[in-house]
Amino acid sequence: MRRKRRKVSPKAKINRNHQIRATELRVIGEDGEIIGILTKQDALKLAEEKGKDLVEVSSNSTPPVAKIIEFGKFKYQQEKKDRATKKTSNSTEVKQVRISLKIGDHDLETKLNKIKKVLQSGDKVRVSMMLRGRENHHKELALLRIEDISGKISEWAEVDQAVKVAGKNISIIYKSNNNS
C-alpha cells in the first residue's frame, strides 16, 4: 500500500539556525538594524549570544537575508501579516446557474431566487443555457429568454459580462448592483 505524501505548506519552509544552507548571510538585528554580511557560523554565534534564533527571511536574494529574532515571535508576525492580507483581499467567486430554453415559469422563479441569494452573498452569477437538438436553430429564442431574465433581475443585478455565444452554449454573467 502506497503512502500519501503530505504537502508541505509554504509556512513550513522557513529555515532557521542550522537548517540554513547558505554559507554567507546578510544579517539583520531584531530591531531592524543591518548588521552586515557574515558567515553562517558567525551569524549563529551572534544569535546564540543574544539568546535568539537565526531565521532566514529571504532565501532568493544574494546573499540570503537572515534575521536574529525569536522564532515564535517571527511566526506570529507572519501569521498576523497573512491574516491582514486575507482580510483586505476581496475574492469573489462566479457561481453557475443552468437553465434550459423550455424552462417553466415556476422553475424560472426558483432559479431567479437562487440567483438573488448568490448575488446578495457577494458572488457573481453565470447564467448558462445549453441548446439541444433543434434548439440550436433558434438561438434568437434563447437570446430572448436571456433578455427576459435580465429584465426580471435588473432591480438587484447588472450585467458584468455581456451575452456570450459559444457553439451550443449561451452564457451571461451578472453582478450585484448593491441596491438590494
When pLDDT is averaged across residues 57-71 and rounded to a whole number, the result is: 85
Task: Please classify residue 100 by burial: count the beta carbons closer than 10 Å to its beta carbon, then call 0-12 exposed, 13-18 middle and 19+ buried.
Answer: middle
C-alpha cell at 32: 531592524
- Please, are residues 164 and 171 in contact by the beta-carbon 8 Å criterion? yes
pLDDT score of 10 more than 90: no
- Give me the half-sphere count of Cα atoms (radius 13 Å) on the Cβ side of residue 143: 10
Residue 128 has pLDDT above 70, yes or no: yes
160-166's contacts with Cβ under 8 Å and 24+ in sequence apart are: 160/124, 165/139
Mean pLDDT of 132-151: 89
Comparison of pLDDT for 86 and 144, the residue scoring more = 144
CA distance 146 to 128: 9
| pLDDT tens per residue, range 84-104 | 888 777 667 888 999 998 889
Mean pLDDT, the chain, as a whole number? 84
Q: Which residue has the cell 438561438?
A: 139
User: What is the distance between the alpha carbons of residues 167 and 131, in angstroms, rounded to a whole number?
Assistant: 9
In Å, how far from its chain's centre is CA 137? 40
- pTM confidence score: 0.51
Cell numbers given for 31: 530591531
What's the helix, strand, coil split of the chain in %, to 5?
Answer: 40, 30, 30
Instruction: Provide the pLDDT confidence category of residue 126 given band limits of 50, 70 and 90.
Output: very high
For residue range 19-59, list pLDDT tens digits in order.
Answer: 888 888 888 888 888 888 888 888 888 888 888 888 888 88
Nearest to 114 by CA among 102, 132, 126: 126
More confident residue, 76 or 10: 76
